[in-house]
Amino acid sequence: MRAAIYTRVSTEDQAKEGFSLDAQLKRLEAYCRARGWTVAARYVEEGQSGRTVNRPAYRAMMAAMEDWDLILVMKMDRIHRNSVNFTLMMDELRRHGKEFNSLQESFDTTTAMGRFVMDIMQRIAQLESEQIGERVHMGMQKKARDGDLHLGSAHPYGYEYRNGELLVVPHEAAVVEKMFHWREQGLSYQRIADSLNQASVPSKRGGAWSRQSVWKVVNNPLYKGYRRWDGMIGKGSHMAIVHDSMGLPQS
């Protein structure tokens, strides 16, 4: 069995508690000798957080899977402090026929018990991920109802998003009012787009207007002081650009 030894420290305190890089390497190398494993490579991570996968040594190790059969760490939190990231790693290892071993927790996927524990951990991580998603969704719903949530483009035409607020851009707001006025008069979206382009009025990104971009403005409740999200339309806390004389567009 070819082992990829992975070691990590992120703070001086961890080193003082016996998690120094040298201490980890020595114990893991001794463990490999006891198990009759070959040390295929040593991946050393210093000053890196275990809550992200964007670590140089970790990424190099995962990119070199053909060179080893198993990842060996001192403790599971040396490689990941996030259960979702850990589960994603284990899924990738399983797809490539690789194993994982944590010396201190005796977590070893080469055994039946280790694989059973892995299944339990995956279910826990999935539950955690789904619960986080539910909490985020509920929080956004409440903010949408309260008018506290900025939704959609970071800088919708007619507004700019600054310090958590939507602020009106006067020269763009005048164009928005004109677009709504033309639409009330019965002009088509394409005719409005053509008129803006002929007058050399740029879109938010400086390009030409299209039928679709005009439609998005005229049918956006944002300009009447409302917010639309997840099938709901609620009163926003920002300033409206046009009067709500035509009623809200359909959600």
Task: Let me know whether 169 and 55 are in one domain.
Answer: no
What is the rounded average pLDDT of the residues 206-232?
83
242 within domain boundaries: no
pLDDT averaged over the chain? 81
What is the DSSP code (8-state) at residue 106?
Answer: T
Closest CA to 117 of 90, 137, 80: 90
> Both 83 and 151 in a single domain?
no
Same domain flag for 116 and 168:
no
In a domain, 244, yes or no: no
Looking up residue 213, the CATH number of its domain turns out to be 3.90.1750.20
The answer as to whether 53 is a domain residue is yes
User: Do 69 and 30 belong to one domain?
Assistant: yes
* 18 and 91 share one domain: yes
- For the stretch 196-216, pLDDT in tens is 999 999 998 888 999 999 998
Residue position matching structure tokens 């003082």:
16
Is 129 designated active site?
A: no
Average pLDDT of 27-39?
A: 96
pTM of the model: 0.48
The answer as to whether 133 is a domain residue is: no
State whether 72 and 172 are in the same domain.
no
| Region of residue 95 (left: phi > 0; alpha: psi -120 to 50; beta: else) | alpha
User: In the prediction, which pLDDT does 248 show?
Assistant: 45
**Top-confidence residue, 226 or 36:** 36
Does position 249 have pLDDT exceeding 50, yes or no? no
Query: Is 160 domain-assigned?
Result: yes
Note whether 152 and 123 are same-domain residues: no
For 235-246, how does the pLDDT look when each residue is reduced to its tens digit (9 = 90+)? 777 888 987 654
pLDDT exceeding 90 applies to what percent of the chain? Answer: 40
Query: Is residue 153 included in any domain, yes or no?
Result: yes
For the domain that residue 7 is a member of, what is the CATH number? 3.40.50.1390
What local confidence, expressed as pLDDT, does residue 154 receive? 57
Q: What is the pLDDT of residues 91-139, one digit of tens each?
A: 899 899 999 998 887 788 878 887 777 677 666 656 665 666 666 556 5
Q: Are residues 93 and 60 in the same domain?
A: yes
**In this predicted structure, what is the pLDDT of residue 124?**
67
In a domain, 112, yes or no: yes
Please, which pLDDT band fits residue 3 given cuts at 50, 70 and 90? very high
Q: What is the pLDDT of residues 184-195, one digit of tens each?
A: 999 999 999 999
* pLDDT of the residue at 13: 42
More confident residue, 35 or 77: 35
**Could you tell me if 189 and 88 lie in one domain?**
no
Same domain, 178 and 119: no
The range of the structural domain enclosing residue 226 comes to: 147-235
Residue 99 lies in a domain: yes
Q: 221: how many CB neighbours lie within 10 A of its CB? A: 19
Mean pLDDT, rounded, for 156-164: 83
CB burial readout 105-116, b (16+ within 10 A) else e = eebbbeeeebee
Catalytic residue among 10, 102, 203, 213: 10
Between CA 221 and CA 242 the distance in angstroms is: 10
**How many structural domains does the chain have?**
2
